[in-house]
Amino acid sequence: MSPWTAALYLENGQLFVGKGFGAKTARGGEAVFNTGMTGYQEIYTDPSYYQQVVVLTGSEVGNTGVNADDIESTSAFLSGVVVREYNDIPSNWRSTGTLSSYLDRLGVPGVFDIDTREVTRVLRDDGAQRSIVFPVSSTDRESILKEAKDLIATVVSMEGLDLVSRVSCQKPHLYGDTSASAPRFVVYDYGVKTNILRSLRTRGFGVQVVPYNFPYQEVMKINPQAVLLSNGPGDPSVVPDAVGMIQGLLGKKPIFAICMGHQLLARALGCTTYKLKFGHHGINHPVKDCIQNKILITSQNHGFAVKEDDLASREVKVSHKSLNDGCVEGYSSEKLQLLSVQFHPEARPGPSDAANIFDHFVKGFIR
Amino acid sequence: MPKRTDIHRVLVIGSGPIIIGQACEFDYSGAQACKALKEEGYFVILVNSNPATIMTDPDMADRTYVEPLTPDFLEDIIAKERPDACLPTIGGQTALNLALALCERGVLEKYGVELIGAGRKAIESAENREQFKGVLDRVGVEYPASGYAKTLEQGRTVIDQIGFPCIIRPSYTLGGTGASVAFNAEEFPAELQRGIDASPMGEVLVEESVLGWKEFELEVIRDKADNVVIVCSIENLDPMGVHTGDSITVAPAQTLTDVEYQQMRDAAIRIIREVGVDTGGSNIQFAVDPKTGRQVAIEMNPRVSRSSALASKATGFPIAKIATKLAVGYTLDELPNDITKKTPSCFEPSIDYVVTKIPRFAFEKFPNSDPKLGPQMKSVGEAMAMGRTFKESFQKALRSLETGLWGLNPITERRKLRSGQNWIDGIRSYVKTPSSDRILWVAQGMREGISLEELHMLTKIDPWFLQQISEIVAMESDIAKFTGDVATIPREALLSWKRAGFSDRGIAHHLKSSEDQVRGKREQLEVLPNYKIVDTCAGEFESRTPYCYSSYESTSDQLPKGKGRKIVILGGGPNRIGQGIEFDYCCVQASFALREEGCESIMVNCNPETVSTDYDVSDKLYFEPLFLEDIVAILDREKPDGVIVHFGGQTPLNLSRHLHAMGYPILGTSSESIQIAEDRDKFRALCHRLNVRQPESLTVSQRERAVEAAEQLGFPLLVRPSYVLGGRGMEIIYNSRDFHQWLTKGIEISEDCPLLIDRFLKNAVEVDVDAICDGEEVIICGILEQIQEAGVHSGDSACTLPPITLSEEVQAELTRTTKSLALELGVVGLINIQYAIEDGLVHILEVNPRASRTVPFSSKARGVSYAKVAAKVMLGRKLKDLKVVEPRIPYVYVKESVFPFKKFPGSDIILGPEMRSTGEVMGGGSTFAEAFAKAQIANGFTLPMGGTAFLSVKDDDKENLVGIASHLEMLGFNLIGTRGTASFLSSRGIQIKTVNKVNEGRPHVVDHIKNGEVHLVINTSALGVHEVGAAYELRRNTLMRNICYFTTIAAAKAAALAIAEVGKVRPKTHCLQERV
């Protein structure tokens, strides 16, 4: 790989020039940072990063290459990646190729040799914002800036943007080798991560994946044991149809919700969601399980959150809270048979501390 | 769950003297623990025999006992202080073992003392190999397969299950001695038999070999609510087979995918839960098969460790402090993260830089010992560096070592090869064997075209690291392209080299230019370092932690603004023999003094083990190499009002001349004064002017003149080549034949490298005097009388305060001379002077106008923090205003040196002018004998109260042995001796039996020693002469069997007194605070 000159440009006018890897193309999206020190392949294939430019704070990236197993979807949905140091010669017993050629195949541009700590600071202080990763042909800073400004004008803002409908599957389908008679979960796919499906499958469930707007009446016909509302990208307030479908299932089927699903479920309950300044993206987030009085180190990836005030009146109680900023990380209701978490109990990447939430749900509402 | 209110008094056990494998990281953790406990309002009782620690500062605990770490003394202290709880997890293996011993004796139960942090069951199930395997079985974590064998047949059964290669470990040998590897069925029977023979039980453990596997460590913390977090992952660059303390290590782990890392994390959590470390930190090691990813657990330390100190410094997460607070009942979510203030400690730090630690070795001090690295730790210190990339942190770490490296220095000395060996094969053989400088040979191999694949085959170092190093090497040729053309180097190129961690000196080397020229070019192109903050959270939360490192990035983080005069303290760098914890103690005291004086304190150091690199000791901490370029960058940025260079030992002092020349404001004693003290001629003139006696000496710059000069001075002589630092290469020569022989050993004598010859004051008593001068007045901190005779390095000699044999007149003269020298030299701050007193005549040997190794000992013995006083004087305060009390000492204090001989098979235990001790202990008592006895006990000896004493001394010592021998006889010892010694003593009417030397037929003395028939050994020989024959074998066996031994007459005499004293009454304990 011989790197070309590439750059990251932020909406606030800051330009960072580095070297390119992955696809030699210009793409833009909302810049967010992720503080995980492992799991770049999982992050890059997580549909929740749709239309985002992901800045990894961990400074050495590409070290373990890529492999066929550590993927959370069959594609890369994000728009660009930014790292401090990219390593094109990987070393790992499972590695089958380099990260650069993998991103190239998926059409994702990357830029490295960037002061990612400074970029992170900007995003922390000024908030997540539009950005563009692009190859640079000029050596003159002024003309690079001009090109950047032209490019960023084409990037749309995340707020008010429906992305779920664009990453969700088009048709219902079965995940894995589900036999017809197996007890079944219906999974609403808002951009589901593979490990959520795998986590259900390994617990003995058949998994029926359905599009985000799949009619609830059809779900009732399938008559699953429970419904899972998956993770997904973007602003929960603008996902069309989803809230109505969830409302149709409320109280009728046990519901397990994760991340975007958690936010949509809250909205279905009549609560509001709001945008966080720079979100939670990492694998070291402490969450307090207020019911068992235990702390979980969790994997998180969300730019929006559920407002706590409204929850109490909806017969649900807050079950999990972020120890970093106090935001709602989970709620549940015996009566409505629902359990909802903002973080990722399926991990990948990140710790498996919360994996038994799947079991709690199953034990509490299904068996 | 808040802190416990059912306990009030907590006993903290320290780790004792600095030894290899247990160094000042435990002062760091202990000091944090004491601070944390006091902060919570507990009454802290501390026991630690090491006076050079910050934790034994009287302010750190309510009761500080500088007493031997033995069950007897601990029981005494427990009976007196009646603690409710004991925290055994911050004092290393020493404290854990002691806690277990106290449990076994029923002492803790008797006095109702609860072990907090880790209970007995947890300690045992982590420490006992068999129990630990049980733990791993229960939680489903794999470990290397193994089985015991007493016969070849049993061995083969084990091999059928585990395959080759295998490790054969003899059971019940000390420190893993005798372990070997069998690679195939052919060599297996012989290796197995050798192992069975080496084991006192005739048994070996045959274990699956994980040599060459990748090695990782996780630092884990658990609270009583069962919350567990991983603070840091560490990857060893050197694969399995090299002790992690001797490995280059990197944080965070670099070559694991998330799936593999999480698997390891899960295993670590299951292990700590099953072992049952209720509250506190542990370190768990794993090996990973690079071909299959199979993970096995290797071992666990249920306590804070060297790695946890490293992890704390690497992440900013204060493991020892948090572990202590958990031990008294808090949970992780109740403790705030010191750094962000807003978020809790219950999280896993994320770091956005790379940390590299490189160990520092001292093989040159132990000739004849094997410099190969293996499962037993041999390094004496370490340097850590941070950079945004591995390359940057690695190259910074190399220049932090202070071994003369500016990075990956090329190796060109072909003389290191065996004769007839070709260069490439020579490199291959150096690369293959783990050693202190293997990584330099690896880089050299790359320069000479050895492929990365082959280097991986030879070293098993992960290809990722080899690739990184090869990228550095490739950059060298990019740099070299600009040779002779420095002016045309583009900014982008220079910046990329700096971003990869190259020092100016390194770049200059490849450009065949000078450091100054490179710096000039760099400044012209504005390629300057920025500073980033260590914040535990990769920038996710705002923090103003005063803890930073440099990197060539686009911007600096916003650093906190201080107030008051800004003073930079340069620390001591990596520990080494001769420059260790004593200097870190002084630097930390200086920092405390700055705080008291309302100044802003800025610490610079690169040693992760120390208290000085704790981010809350100073107002600001730069974790940076003590390398001129890095220091200058900091000074240019900070523009301090003063720089303190006198407290960190030789390292900052060496920098001070350059800094002074460059115009930076050095506080205290001027650079000129330091030079007068270091320059022989100038110093001689000064002594002459003040009428102070020096041993006669001559400087020779021609080989032909050497013999003549020697004859003129008369033997014995002390000779030293002038490049010598810290006693290196110094020797005492007793006669003309030896002198001729010494001259043939390739000693360079020239105008540039003159030879210094001193008359050696054979029967002199050496004395160290520490003093503080403010330019007008001088106070004496201590007159320390060395117990060993002249010729033993002062850092290796035991010493006593107050002196015991010096007359009032001599002491008065020492005080007078010290005062006049300090004033004449214009000292502002500390000064240390070494004297030799021969026949009542005071001779001056050496003057060091800086903090010395003995400052902490004097401070503890006299109850005054002299380093703090000195720092204030350097800030301009006057001694008369500081009102330093001259305390009356009710006790005698003895400092004893602690040696690492056991770790260096092949090394002789005879002392000499070359310093070899790693640490010290202090004993206090109402008599010299009691204090000396306690110092010996603290040093791990059991003073024998009777039995057989073996005596064998050199001719010079025979007369002086008579008194000692008759004293021992009176105390009831049976005496045995070698022919010469025995017949001499018999002729003086002493009952002594003759035994054979090793070469005189059997049974000989070593047979008696091996049979456990000898309880005390007094054996002297020429100082500093390392023998290989019979005498060596005698001393080595004495050492390895833990028999109490003395290798100088003076120490033997003190020992006889001590034995008599201890025989009469059991030594009493007392705490430092009682005196006030």
Domain boundary among A132, A152, A172: A152
Residue A357's CATH number = 3.40.50.880
Taking residues B68-78, report their average pLDDT: 97
Q: Do A236 and A132 reside in the same domain of the chain?
A: no
A344 is catalytic: yes
- Tens of pLDDT, residues B800-842: 999 999 999 999 999 999 999 999 999 999 999 999 999 999 9
Half-sphere exposure for B534 (CA within 13 Å, toward CB): 28
Q: Do A87 and A176 reside in the same domain of the chain?
A: no
A159 is catalytic: no
Chain A residues close to B290, C-beta within 8 Å: 93
Residue A118's CATH number = 3.50.30.20
DSSP assignments along B287-304, one per residue:
EE-TTT--EEEEEEESS-
| CA–CA min distance B849, chain A (Å) | 44
Chain B residues close to A113, C-beta within 8 Å: 499
**One-letter identity of residue B750:** S
Interface contact flag, A36 B350, Cβ < 8 Å = yes
**pLDDT reported for residue B724:** 46
Q: Do A23 and A140 reside in the same domain of the chain?
A: yes
A363 vs B: CB within 8 A: no
A69 vs B: CB within 8 A: yes
Is pLDDT of A91 > 80? yes
| CA–CA min distance A105, chain B (Å) | 21
> Whole-angstrom Cα distance, residue B596 to residue B882?
12
A259 is catalytic: yes
**CA B346 to chain CA mean position, Å:** 32
- Taking alpha carbons only, the member of B139, B157, B140, B136 closest to residue B148 is B157
- Taking alpha carbons only, the member of B455, B454, B477, B122 closest to residue B278 is B122
DSSP assignments along A262-292, one per residue:
HHHHHHHTT--EEEEEEEEEEEEEEEEETTT
Q: Are B392 and A115 in contact (CB under 8 A)?
A: no
Residue B640 vs residues B534, B564, B822: alpha-carbon distances, Å: 22, 11, 27
A300 occurs within a structural domain: yes
Interface contact flag, A93 B332, Cβ < 8 Å = no
Beta strand extents in B261-379 (DSSP E only): 280-288, 295-301, 354-360
Interface contact flag, B257 A35, Cβ < 8 Å = no
Q: Do A311 and A193 reside in the same domain of the chain?
A: yes
- Tens of pLDDT, residues A147-203: 999 999 999 887 788 999 999 999 999 998 766 677 899 999 999 999 999 999 999
Residue A168 vs residues A163, A164, A304, B675: alpha-carbon distances, Å: 9, 6, 19, 77
A210 occurs within a structural domain: yes
B453 vs A: CB within 8 A: no
Interface of A with B in 80-119 (CB under 8 A): 84-85, 87, 89-94, 113, 115-118
**pLDDT reported for residue A43:** 97
A346 vs B: CB within 8 A: no
**One-letter identity of residue B576:** R
Burial of A25 (0-12, 13-18, 19+ CB in 10 A): middle
**Higher pLDDT residue, B6 or B1062?**
B6
DSSP assignments along B201-238, one per residue:
TS-EEEEE--TTSEEEEEEEEE-TT--EEEEEEEEESS
Q: Are B557 and B548 in contact (CB under 8 A)?
A: yes
Domain boundary among A91, A123, A152: A152
Confidence of residue B313 (pLDDT cuts 50, 70, 90): very high
Interface contact flag, A84 B344, Cβ < 8 Å = no
> Whole-angstrom Cα distance, residue A205 to residue A214?
20
Interface of A with B in 191-250 (CB under 8 A): none
B386 to chain A: closest CA residue: A59
Q: Do A184 and A324 reside in the same domain of the chain?
A: yes
Backbone angles phi, psi at A21, to 5 degrees: -145, 175
* Chain A, chain B: beta-carbon pairs less than 8 Å apart: 163
- Tens of pLDDT, residues B412-463: 877 667 777 889 999 999 999 999 999 999 999 999 999 999 999 999 999 9
**Higher pLDDT residue, B889 or B27?**
B27
Interface contact flag, A115 B542, Cβ < 8 Å = no
DSSP assignments along B118-137, one per residue:
S-HHHHHHHHSHHHHHHHHH
Q: Chain B interface, mutation test: which of A33, A92, A111, A325, most B Cβ atoms within 10 Å? A: A92
Is pLDDT of A136 > 60? yes
Chain B residues close to A136, C-beta within 8 Å: none
Q: Name the active-site residue from A11, A30, A42, A259.
A: A259
- Tens of pLDDT, residues B362-371: 998 887 788 8
| CA–CA min distance A136, chain B (Å) | 16
Is pLDDT of B91 > 60? yes
Q: Do A361 and A286 reside in the same domain of the chain?
A: yes
Q: Do A177 and A250 reside in the same domain of the chain?
A: yes
**pLDDT reported for residue B668:** 96
Interface contact flag, A115 B254, Cβ < 8 Å = no
- Tens of pLDDT, residues A314-356: 889 999 999 999 999 999 999 999 999 999 999 999 999 999 9
**pLDDT reported for residue B725:** 47
Q: Do A263 and A124 reside in the same domain of the chain?
A: no
**Higher pLDDT residue, B812 or B744?**
B812
Return the residue matching tokens 């960037």. Answer: A114
Average confidence score pLDDT of chain B = 92
- Tens of pLDDT, residues B561-617: 889 999 999 999 999 998 999 999 999 999 999 999 999 999 999 999 999 999 999
Average confidence score pLDDT of chain A = 95
Q: Do A186 and A291 reside in the same domain of the chain?
A: yes
Is pLDDT of B361 > 50? yes
A228 occurs within a structural domain: yes
- Taking alpha carbons only, the member of B635, B628, B583 closest to residue B607 is B583
- Tens of pLDDT, residues B868-905: 999 999 999 999 999 888 777 779 999 999 999 888 87
Interface of A with B in 248-307 (CB under 8 A): 282-286, 288, 293-295, 297
- B812's enclosing H/E stretch is helix B808-825
**pLDDT reported for residue A217:** 97
Taking residues B1032-1038, report their average pLDDT: 89
Q: Are B695 and B727 in contact (CB under 8 A)?
A: no
Q: Chain B interface, mutation test: which of A91, A95, A198, most B Cβ atoms within 10 Å? A: A91
| CA–CA min distance B41, chain A (Å) | 27
> Whole-angstrom Cα distance, residue B171 to residue B204?
5
Beta bridge partners of B766: B836
- Tens of pLDDT, residues B169-211: 888 765 556 778 888 999 999 989 988 887 778 889 999 989 9
Interface of B with A in 388-447 (CB under 8 A): 388-390
Domain enclosing residue A202, as ranges: 164-365
B555 vs A: CB within 8 A: yes
**pLDDT reported for residue B421:** 81
Lookup: tokens for B236? 């060893």
Kindly report the three-state secondary structure assignment for every residue of B1051-1073: HHHHHHHHHHHHHHCCCCCCCHH
Question: Which member of B259, B265, B557 has the closest CB to residue A70?
Answer: B259
B255 vs A: CB within 8 A: yes
A159 occurs within a structural domain: no
Q: Do A46 and A104 reside in the same domain of the chain?
A: yes
| CA–CA min distance B494, chain A (Å) | 15
Please tell me whether the peptide bond between B252 and the residue prior to it is cis, using omega within 30 degrees of 0: yes
Interface contact flag, B467 A35, Cβ < 8 Å = no
DSSP assignments along B928-981, one per residue:
HHHHHHHHHHHTTPPPPSSEEEEEE--HHHHHHHHHHHHHHHHTTEEEEE-HHH
Q: Are A348 and A195 in contact (CB under 8 A)?
A: yes
Interface of B with A in 286-325 (CB under 8 A): 289-293
Q: Which residues are CB-contacts of B38 (< 8 A; sequence separation ≥ 6)? A: B44, B60, B61, B62
Taking residues B381-389, report their average pLDDT: 98
- Tens of pLDDT, residues A27-57: 999 999 999 999 999 999 999 999 999 999 9
Interface contact flag, A115 B554, Cβ < 8 Å = yes
Taking residues B95-105, report their average pLDDT: 95
Interface of A with B in 308-337 (CB under 8 A): 323-324
Domain boundary among A125, A152, A179: A152
A245 occurs within a structural domain: yes
Please tell me whether the peptide bond between B1003 and the residue prior to it is cis, using omega within 30 degrees of 0: yes
B535 to chain A: closest CA residue: A117
A37 vs B: CB within 8 A: yes
Q: Do A252 and A189 reside in the same domain of the chain?
A: yes
Interface contact flag, B539 A59, Cβ < 8 Å = no
Is pLDDT of B728 > 70? no
Q: Please count the structural domains in chain A.
A: 2
> Whole-angstrom Cα distance, residue B302 to residue B312?
16
> Whole-angstrom Cα distance, residue A232 to residue A158?
13
Q: Do A308 and A176 reside in the same domain of the chain?
A: yes
- Tens of pLDDT, residues B845-858: 999 999 999 999 99
